[in-house]
Structure 1
Amino acid sequence: MTGKTARQCSSWVLHYLLAINLAMMAGCSGKNSTARYSASMGSSCYAKALPTSGEGGLAWGDTLKMARQKSMNNCIRYAGRSGGTPDTCQVVLAECRN
């Protein structure tokens, strides 16, 4: 009887995991994932801005100036959302890769 119960339980668990996996894949299939990363793959410069408290922002851009501006905008937005200090955002890293 124990063997039969264990098989029923493992069968139920496998079906449950399969259903969750399919639901997660279905939820992501409608999103255009390449659109989110296309800017970072084509851009060669990046910058990171951080506030004194809260979350900062990382951004990619075609030029160093564009990457800095985007990262500052992201820092201000994310610091405000996370309860930080948006007015203290500063670019702490900015580079272009070759």
Structure 2
Amino acid sequence: MTVKTARQCPSWLIPSLLAISLAPIVGCSGKTSTTRYATASTGSACYAKALPTAGEGGLAWGNTLSMARKKSLDNCIRYAGRSGGTPNTCQVVLAECRN
């Protein structure tokens, strides 16, 4: 009859594997989040929406009405082209400024 003994792991192996697996999570926890895109709450007073005859349109905020209209038209052309729509038919359908 043969007797098999249990193989023992070095005492440092399991804590090392645990530390390696948690390192990426711990490294990100100290970073503060930053806002990458301007939103309506950052002070832009005007907004505009542009739509094509087919595909996705674009909504944009800007400090002036003309800036919001231009940005929404640019967004409409970009999104309509990506969604298989008709970018050359984009029109601004709504443009307003808040009080």
| Shorter-chain TM-score range | 0.5 to 0.7
Q: Name the % identity.
A: 71
What's the CA shift for 1:52?
Answer: 0.1
What stretches of structure 1 of length at least 5 have no aligned partner? 1-22
1:50-69 aligned within 5 A? 50-69=51-70
* TM-score, normalised with respect to structure 1: 0.64
Structure 2 counterpart of 1:64, one-letter code: L
* TM-score, normalised with respect to structure 2: 0.64
What's the CA shift for 1:35?
Answer: 2.5
Matched residue count: 70
What's the CA shift for 1:31?
Answer: 6.1
Verify the 8 A CA contact 1:39 1:61 in the aligned structure 2.
Answer: no
Between structures 1 and 2, the one with greater helix share:
1
Judged with a 3 Å threshold, the aligned counterparts in structure 2 of structure 1 residues 30 and 87 are, in CA distance, closer, same or farther, namely farther
Q: CA RMSD in A?
A: 2.0
**Bigger radius of gyration:** 2
What stretches of structure 2 of length at least 5 have no aligned partner? 1-24
